[in-house]
Amino acid sequence: MTTLSRRKFLKISGATVAAASAVAAAGRSVSSAIATTNVERGDRTVATYCDICFWKCGAIAHVRDGKLWKVEGNPLDPLSNGRLCPRGTGGVGAAFDTDRLRAPLIRRRDRGEDEWVEVTWDEAMTYIAERMQKIKSSYGPESVALFSHGIGGNFFKHTIKAFGSPNISAPSFAQCRGPRDVGFRLTFGEDVSSPERTDIRNAQCLVLIGSHLGENMHNTQVQEFADAVGNGASIIVVDPRYSIAASKAKYYLPIKPGTDLALILAWMNVIVAEKLYDAEYVAMYGFGFEPFAASIAPYTPEWAYPETGIEPALIRATAREMARYRPATLIHPGRHATWYGDDAQRSRAIALLNALMGSWGRKGGFYAPVSMDVPAYPTPPYPTPSKLKVDNPDHKYPFAHETITTGIREATITGKPYPIKGWFVYATNLLHALPNEQETIRAMQNLDLLVVIDVIPSEIAGWADVVLPESIYLERHDELNVEWFREPFVALRQPVVESPNDQKPNWWMAKTLAEKLGLGAYYPWKNAEEYLSTRITNAGMSWEQLKKDGIIRGEKRPIFFDEGVPAEFPTPTGKIEFFSVQLQKAGFDPVPMYKRPEGGPPGSFRLLYGRSPVHSFSRTQNNPVLMDMVDENMVWVNADVADRNGWKTGDWVVLRNQDGVVSNRIKVLATERIRPDCVYMVHGFGHTAKHLRRALGRGASDSQLITRYAVDPLMGGTAMNVNFVTIEATEVAHG
């Protein structure tokens, strides 16, 4: 073996070292996109919190020689426990992205042509304020709506409320977790909330129904999932696709897509028939158990078998497995729950199964989240809108407790119950987030004002009248994160480096706009630092400590029933509602009932989608660090199906959906890891925005193929796993 001593080596090559490091240094400065003007030397760190997704993990950003270097987890933070997820670690790439929006833009051609003139901030704000006032005088302030995602939207919400509009919405309800929260509310009286109140870490049996933890990287949940796996918890995974989580499972149930509710009903049937449930818990806290039991009696495993494709013996074995570990059996409620149109009822069935396990309020099940008391900054009361929200006329969806984005879109198209003429879109790429992009485009054509606030020139930005470039999270202050979690804490987002161009933080934009609108009284503070420090000082905490540590933790408090949390269920009966009178009165099934999902055209595959661990929605495909991990999506096709059709991994194909919409070209992944009746792709790829040069044309967009959606009759959620595609070989690049 050749071993070279370090000292000897350095002596030989002393001269070369010096020469080559000059080359290397030159190389480095070329690649550094965000050099600041002041000459700063050495390393420094700033504590802040992440924004690559909405989980808001505590982070420590490192700056080397004045340039942003890397971001790590903040060890003081109970969300990250000192470790970020891959997206958070790659968050610096958002700063290095050379396609970032730099200056305010005003459209100079037709909507959607993505052609712009750069303007000053004052010109942009004046333009917006004038149009808003015009809409207000013609239609009323309610005709301006805001779509927003994440904590960064808070100040814009404040300005829009001060302006007098109640039409504020986020896709996270009707396109994501809404059905889940409605199902749990109807049962326990409370939401699952975000971060989910699941005690995965202590679960002895964890059931994941379509929830792909490990690909979905909501940090704390994945950390706890790894702990559960490491502790030898019994994992049961239900998924048409052999997910990463499935590879950790004791039982993998390769369910036929769309039939999850049948499986859950059959599980409950076994658990009730074999008296495996927590009888004491059910007797103490439950309402309507007898009619519930009668209602699910027909749903035997033998009945469920032809629906789900899961053998009766496996249904029984897994039901017994769950009962064996109760109450530390957690049937995870999932997060993105808008699948088939029966979603609120399916989620309610999951809630009921948890109720049978007695896991709500118990260790290894669901905890009661706690929070810190940080008073709001005192501002004048908002004006009372003279019209009701536009999204849900006549309470068509009686159990929607948040605003329905697609309801606002519908009103924008029809002008009913009243016209919507202005949209603000903050940090959500509506063309990828809402189903049926043509409807979104139709709605946008009816607008007198469309303002997009974002960090990247996304598809929705391409349709705006005015684009406002936001500083990325590492360059700005944001609202405090006063989280509801296992323990109370407050976290600060603060600037690490300066914005490279003319980008501004959201608080500055929202405040400046309010001032232009004559609403300056709603912003009685000079800047974010004054706003934030006042809130913290008024709460009796130290602003200096928060700035230094990025986080202040409160006293731990009881979070389980046996620690002293009162077992209260804010439902109409004050109990866990096995039978729901309010559902019955509203004309819905008081106990969930199964309806077989509609199939697709012969020869087609159901289109399923999910997440990559290194991407957030459609917002990270221009991030150079994260794109270096996964730079396109592939369409997963069952290996036998691929074989029969002559498709090999890496072959280019296009997908054509039931309405004739054809996707970008995408590569095949022929794999054993999926059923033959469906195909799967990661969401967020297939960008068409021409200024997103790294993302443009990489992979295909599931959103583009989601022209159909089934609306949840309880709450207006838009189920998107109801589209079918055929696969066509191609040599040509589309789009």
Partner 1 sequence: MARLAMVIDTVRCVGCMDCIVACKTENQTPEGFNRDWIAYDTQGKFPTLHQEIRSERCNQCSEPPCVDCCPTGASHVHEYGGVVLVEKTMCIGCKACIASCPYDARYVHPEGYVDKCTFCIHRVEKGMDPACVSVCPTHCMHFGDLEDPLSNVSKLLASRKHHTLIPQAGTEPHVYYLT
Interface residues with ligand SF4 (CB under 6 A) are 50, 52-53, 55-57, 84-85, 87-88, 217-219
Residue 110 CB, nearest distance to partner 1 (Å)? Answer: 35
Q: Is 72 exposed, middle or buried (0-12, 13-18, 19+ CB in 10 A)?
A: middle
Instruction: Find the binder of partner 1 among 47, 50, 79, 84 (CB under 8 A).
Output: 84
User: Does residue 3 interact with partner 1 by CB under 8 A?
Assistant: yes
User: Does residue 273 interact with partner 1 by CB under 8 A?
Assistant: no
Q: Which is nearer to ligand SF4, 56 or 363 (CB)?
A: 56
Rounded Cα gap, residues 392 and 578, in angstroms: 27
- Among candidates 672, 633, 175, which has minimal Cα distance to 430? 175
H-helix or E-strand spanning residue 330? strand 329-331
User: Does residue 1 interact with partner 1 by CB under 8 A?
Assistant: yes
Rounded Cα gap, residues 211 and 23, in angstroms: 48
Q: Which is nearer to partner 1, 223 or 663 (CB)?
A: 223
- Among candidates 659, 708, 655, 657, which has minimal Cα distance to 439? 708
User: Does residue 399 interact with partner 1 by CB under 8 A?
Assistant: no
User: Does residue 474 interact with partner 1 by CB under 8 A?
Assistant: no
Residue 590 CB, nearest distance to partner 1 (Å)? Answer: 35
Contacts of 581 (CB under 8 A, 6+ apart): 288, 572, 573, 590
Residue 222 CB, nearest distance to ligand SF4 (Å)? Answer: 8
User: Burial letters for 300-338: b for 16+ Cβ neighbours within 10 Å, e otherwise?
Assistant: bbebbbebbbbeeebbbebbebbbebbbbbbbbbbbbbb
Q: Output phi, psi for 313, to 5 deg.
A: -65, -35
> Quick one: what does residue 194 bind among partner 1, ligand SF4, none, with the CB cut-off 5 to 8 Å set by partner type?
none
Q: Residue 729 carries which DSSP code? A: E
Q: 667 by DSSP, 3-state: which?
A: strand
Rounded Cα gap, residues 529 and 532, in angstroms: 5
User: Does residue 19 interact with partner 1 by CB under 8 A?
Assistant: yes
> Quick one: what does residue 690 bind among partner 1, ligand SF4, none, with the CB cut-off 5 to 8 Å set by partner type?
none
Q: Tell which positions 230-269 bind partner 1, by CB under 8 A.
A: 230, 242, 244-248, 252, 254
Long-range pairs for 247-253 at CB < 8 Å and ≥24 separation? 248/214, 249/208, 250/321, 251/314, 251/317, 251/318, 251/321, 253/308, 253/310, 253/314, 253/318
Q: Tell which positions 666-695 bind partner 1, by CB under 8 A.
A: 671-675
Rounded Cα gap, residues 442 and 414, in angstroms: 10
Q: Which is nearer to partner 1, 236 or 546 (CB)?
A: 236
Q: Is 672 exposed, middle or buried (0-12, 13-18, 19+ CB in 10 A)?
A: exposed
Residue 24 CB, nearest distance to ligand SF4 (Å)? Answer: 30
Q: Output phi, psi for 275, to 5 deg.
A: 50, 45
Stretch that binds partner 1, among 297-305, 365-373, 618-626, 705-713 (CB under 8 A): 618-626
H-helix or E-strand spanning residue 548? helix 543-549
Would you say how long the chain is, in residues?
735
Q: How many residues lie near partner 1 (CB under 8 A)? A: 65
Residue 12 CB, nearest distance to partner 1 (Å)? Answer: 8
User: Does residue 206 interact with partner 1 by CB under 8 A?
Assistant: no
User: Does residue 50 interact with partner 1 by CB under 8 A?
Assistant: no
Residue 109 CB, nearest distance to ligand SF4 (Å)? Answer: 35
User: Does residue 24 interact with partner 1 by CB under 8 A?
Assistant: yes
User: Does residue 30 interact with partner 1 by CB under 8 A?
Assistant: no
User: Does residue 733 interact with partner 1 by CB under 8 A?
Assistant: no
Contact residues for partner 1, defined by CB under 8 A? 1-6, 9, 12-13, 16-17, 19-21, 23-24, 27-28, 31, 69-73, 83-86, 89-90, 92, 213-215, 217, 219, 222-223, 225-226, 229-230, 242, 244-248, 252, 254, 613-614, 624-626, 628-630, 638-639, 671-675
